[in-house]
Structure 1
Amino acid sequence: MAMHLPSQRGRGRRAPMADINVTPLVDVMLVLLIIFMVTAPLLTAGVPVNLPDSRAKALDQDQAPVQISLDAAGKMYVEDQEVTDAILPDVLQQIAAKAEAGKPPQVFLRADRTLDYGRVMRVMGELNLAGLNRVSLVTVGDERP
């Protein structure tokens, strides 16, 4: 068996290297991964709401839910659009009309912990009147050790 040693051919010349060095590629990909991991949570923009704590586990989702938010000032938002009490029933009827037959969309209700309980219940009553009965109250996970 013959072995090919690069030192056997011309003493002063080296054979060209045909391998690709993947170390810089891996380094760049890891840096990009870290950048995406850090910036991804920042991309979820929305209405700033001080949510209450809860020990309940997260729900499984089959489609994108409708987000309704009530901030500390009492302003109401459907997705990111501000909505008044007067037009809320019409907006909810439009959402219910877009739903698939027999399956209303999931609604996430986010309310600031400093709000009056009656204010939140009025919104839930409007959701019920519109036929949107798959309502989940969004809370922050429990921070106990």
Structure 2
Amino acid sequence: MMNLDSKDEQQEEISEINVTPFIDVMLVLLIIFMVTIPLATVNIPLNLPAISEEKQENTGTPVILSLDAQKQLFLGNDQISFEDLVEKIDIATQKNKDIVIFFRIDNSVQYEEMMRIMNLLRGAGYLKIGLVGLDQATDYAK
């Protein structure tokens, strides 16, 4: 007579997760990222030329947003707070999200501050943001 119960006791199921395939996939992804990341970073210093073309006629009043060296925000000539930015832009543009907002930033303002404001504008639906700079190539050399 054969005892089937003894075989079942000897062949218990292993309840551990086999992580070997996971490790294999992760190593392949690591190799892919190690190869592609150096190709994605461009580290070429460029001296970009200034554009000197004729100025075009403005059909309406431009919406100009400015950030000065003291991190004060201005809409036109009026100082506004960061909290009121979206509300004031909505009033100035009459909630027209297709209007280009011209953004002037002082040279000493850190990149993070500029991106903070641009993220606020993007979150409000304003995707057309024009960064205002200098017109002449001689101004870049200063």
Could you state the TM-score of these two structures normalised by the residue count of structure 1? 0.52
After TM superposition, give the deviation of residue 63 of structure 1 in Å.
2.9
Secondary structure of 2:103's counterpart equals: strand
The verdict on how the C-alpha distance between 1:54 and 1:93 changes in structure 2, with shifts beyond 3 A counting, is: farther
Larger helix percent: 2
The letter for the 2-side match of 1:95 is: A
> Root-mean-square deviation (CA), in Å?
2.7
Q: What is the identity, as a one-letter code, of the residue corresponding to 1:55? A: A
Q: How many residues align?
A: 90
**Structure 2 CA distance for partners of 1:64 and 1:96, relative to 1, 3 Å:** closer
User: Residue 61 of structure 2 corresponds to which residue in structure 1?
Assistant: 64
Give the aligned residue type for 2:73: M
- Higher RCO, 1 or 2 (CA under 8 Å, sep at least 6)? 1
Q: Quick one: which of 125, 130, 141 aligns to 1:131?
A: 125
- The Cα of 1:117 is off from its aligned counterpart by 0.5
Question: Aligned pair in 2 of structure 1 residues 124, 56: CA closer, same or farther (>3 Å)?
Answer: farther
- Please list every run of 5 or more consecutive structure 1 residues that lacks an aligned counterpart in the other structure: 1-52
Selected match of 1:85 from 72, 82, 88 = 82
Indicate how the Cα distance of structure 1 residues 129 and 94 shifts in structure 2: closer, same or farther if over 3 A, else same: farther
Alpha-carbon shift at residue 126 of structure 1 (Å): 1.3
Deviation at 1:92, TM superposition (A): 2.4
Does 2:55 match 1:55?
A: no
Secondary structure in 2 matching 1:120:
helix
Secondary structure of 1:140 counterpart: coil
Point out 4+ residue stretches in structure 1 off by more than 6 angstroms.
Answer: none
